[in-house]
Amino acid sequence: MACRKIVIIGPESTGKSTLCEGLAAHYLTTWVPEYAREYMLSHGTQYNYDDLSTIARGQLALEDAARERPSDSVIFIDTDLYVMKVWSEYVFGQCEAWILQEIAGRHYDGYLLCRADLPWVKDELREYPDLATREKLFHIYRDLLINQSVPWAEVGGSADERLTNAIAAVERLLH
């Protein structure tokens, strides 16, 4: 049986990494961290358009490595190239063509879109503390998911509710 891939996306500080970790623990499987965090912690928070291409390639490398684990029937992916598309277009007004081609060519089994209903938590990498911006980004992600064919679900609520809601959504997506 092929490994099923569920991607968790949404604005910053919406619990994506925590949700991936919780889902992986629940399903006794692997999760793919967000490469951008690793990259920016190593290279600093001042980034340019070309850095986003490097980050996108790093994200794909992590994802591809996780997919090669034959023991995992499902993996959870903290962000994908839709996130890179939104980030590129939101900050720089453009997105590299190869990212769009990869989006079209990659297959996922489902998406979970995290609502911006958790309190924003400051860390050294986050840029948008205001709720209005995070809600605007949420709607951009939502529009992307509406206009593609892979099944998806919104998840929200407190951290505990979010995990419970996400498990229920994953069950619907996988069955």
CATH number, span 4-174: 3.40.50.300
What's at 116, amino acid-wise?
A
d(CA 104, CA 113): 19
How many CB atoms neighbour CB 164 within 10 A?
15
Q: State residue 1's pLDDT score.
A: 58
What's at 148, amino acid-wise?
Q
For 91-121, the pLDDT digits (tens) are 999 999 999 999 999 999 999 999 999 988 8
- Tell me if 45 sits within 8 A of 125, measured CB to CB: yes
Any residues with CB less than 8 A from the CB of 158 and at least 6 apart, and which? 118
For 66-96, the pLDDT digits (tens) are 877 767 789 999 999 999 999 999 999 999 9
The H helix count followed by the E strand count for the chain is 7, 5
How many CB atoms neighbour CB 71 within 10 A?
8
Share of the chain above pLDDT 70, in %: 99
Written as six digits, the tokens of 124 are 């050294």
Q: State residue 2's pLDDT score.
A: 76
Q: State residue 45's pLDDT score.
A: 87
Q: Taking the CA of residue 1 as centre, how many other CA atoms within 13 Å lie in the half-sphere pointing to its CB?
A: 8
Of residues 173 and 128, the one with the higher pLDDT is 173
Query: Where do the domains of the chain lie?
Result: 4-174
Any residues with CB less than 8 A from the CB of 13 and at least 6 apart, and which? 118, 119, 120, 121, 126, 134
